[in-house]
Structure 1
Amino acid sequence: MACKKVRNMENIIKVSMFESAQNRYASGVVNLWDWLFLEDYRTVLIKELRNESDLMKRRELKELLPAITVSCACSERRTEKIYEYTNLICIDIDGKDNPSISNIEDLKIKLGELPYIMYCGLSASGNGLFCIIPYADPTNHKNVFEAIKNDFEEMGIIIDKSCGDICRLRFLSHDTQPYVNKHAEVYTSKPKTKSNAVEYIYKPKQKYKTKPPKPRTLLIPNAIETFLRPNNFVLESATPLTKKQKVERLLNEITRNQVDITYYYDDWIAIGNIIKNMFGEEGRALFHKVSSFYPNYDYDETDREYSAMIIGRYRYNSDRLFEIAAEYKLISPIKK
């Protein structure tokens, strides 16, 4: 059995500090470990940032924070100005890129199961996490980043693609309960150990690249197109159907005939957001019903997704639902 590669991170790790993101030249060198656990007058700024709801003010507060280059020590933020490498890569997991992850603290715990995570803590905004990972060859930084990005995507986690820059800045942050492993394994492109717990909890429905198999013969009557026509009227009141009524009727017909229209992950998310935008919390049961015809339907995953949608601000045009239905030959294609 091969020995695991383990790197001792107890020693001083020199990184360059910049007074702000606008500064081109480094103001000095600091020990990474001191930086990660720093508490001073700037910690107050981080608290203010996390409590501020105005986007412009949040940006202004963030610009007041100093930052470091986790992957290197350099006199300027340019690769040709690097004079020492740390053999570390820092990745960002932003909440807005991962709407299915509703509990950041839970994710932090799960990521701690990965043997190559040296540090995992809250970002400056408090809406995401950053992880520091040791790796072997700094000359291969971008390729290592791509491998890590792909590994995390397989776990259903999207990481910020700009982390591939070896001189990228990491803003000062503060976390009273970070995950720390100073003896973390050196990352390899094919880690010997993977966290099944992380993969199970956060891996979304597969993002298929090919068209789904042709749906089985449907029992939906031709009348479904009739009541979805824009010029249709409710007989009792002689008034046109509202968009909400059209959506509700289409979904009811789909559930009545048990047709899976959530085969694609992106379609599933779009359908959920359309339901959320029109029905709010009352649409949760309907989303579960529509999702339940997917062969690998998972109640907990579906519920988490809908909870993330409820607090999210993603808007989808309801016409997307009819486009999806048309792709499954449930209605005629929408004329644009």
Structure 2
Amino acid sequence: MTPPLRVLIHGGGIGGLTLATALGQRGHRVEVAELRGEPDGVGVGITQPSNALHALREIGVLADCLAAGFRWEELTLCDPAGRTLAVLPQPRMAGVPAANGIPRPALAAVLGRAAVAAGARIRFHTTLTELTEEGEEVKVGLSDGSERRYDLVVGFDGTGSPLRRRLYGDAFGPEYTGFAAWRVTLPRPDWLRGVLVTSADRAAKVSLTPVSDRLMHLAALSAEAEEFRPDPRRAHRQLAERLTGIEGPVAEALAEVTDPAAVVYSRISQVTVAAPWHVGRVVLAGDAAHASTPLLAQGAAMAIEDALVLAESLDAEAEVPAALAAWERRRRPRALWVQALSRAVLRQETGTPTTAAEDELLAIGVPGAAHVLVQPY
């Protein structure tokens, strides 16, 4: 086991706060540099699949997540008219639900409290400005003018990762997939007890997901030009245009979207760092290293797994470099498999030609992938 370390986590999102909690609970001295003024809770709801819930149980926040969210066990496939085609029970890891929907702000609050309770210090409105590795230390300059030394620096700083750019320049920047996600938070009807999925003329995939006792989110995936941005005055109407032809529950939910400001739009990009994810005592994790499309709902889950496995690797190894090497050997195959399969599912569901390698991945099917993902990581 490594001795207690001084650790800087660059990024206070889901992965960063999970790692801060896991390391703080193990006695490491942790600081989180977060550019925003509060824990990163931007967006609408998020799905926590069973493997994410299993990892969150390990740091003691499962009960809080379930209390703030809405657990579910089934996925219902419908045709555009709203008729049920299939009801698919979702696999689960032992002792946790198949999935939990939760509002992002609620999850950020849960993880922020856990990190602070574990002894981590969160430095808001702060980002990294200088980085120099000196022997067994990393000298870091921060935007508040301070200069500090750490034994380990971890970049959980997202698809646009400043830390990744410091290590590799523009070599592994985000790659736009040609698709974007539209999301809206709405009141949850009592009948929605799991996820409902369908498609539309211009949207490859549309879903309703419960995220609390009172709320659900509507999410739509559509092909969009990279430069496209919704009109802030009519974003709700632009979303409706993409859902032309849909009837039934999704149409009823869409009719409630009357405020263009309620529509959250985000382009879907992926990041693949083909070089090592760690250089010396600096390591990239989560979306900074392997951002994937949302088709398997595994992006945040992979970041949470990254965090827990990194903490475990530091437990198992006597030196930081050995722990980082062991962590990457364990995480790279799983994270890149999820990324590749998720991209293949995106191509399949949008009618985009797939490669032979993607066809091999798709042969397992999404249900098969779900069963793989609830195996130990």
If asked which structure has higher relative contact order (CA below 8 Å, sep 6+), I would say 2
Q: Which has the larger strand fraction? A: 2
Rg: which structure is higher? 1
- The answer to whether TM tops 0.5 is no
Normalised by the size of structure 1, how large is the TM-score? Answer: 0.29
